[in-house]
Structure 1
Amino acid sequence: MEVKKCERGEEEILGMLAASITPREEMDEMLIAISPRKDCRLKISTSPPTVEVDEKLLVASFDGSARIKKKGGSFSAVIWRLPEWKIVAGEYRYALDLTVNEAEYNSFLLGFELLADLDRGRVIFCGDSNLVIRQMRG
Structure 2
Amino acid sequence: GLLDFQDALIGHPAYDLVSLLEDARRNVDRKLAVPLKARFVERAGLRDAAGFDAAYAVLGAQRNAKILGIFVRLAVRDGKARYLDMLPRVARHFAGDIQHPALMELNLWIKAHAGAVLLEAHK
Q: Normalising by the residue count of structure 1, what TM-score does the alignment of the two structures yield?
A: 0.25
Structure with the higher helix share, 1 or 2? 2
Structure with the higher strand share, 1 or 2? 1
Q: Which protein is bigger by CA-based radius of gyration?
A: 1
Q: Normalising by the residue count of structure 2, what TM-score does the alignment of the two structures yield?
A: 0.27
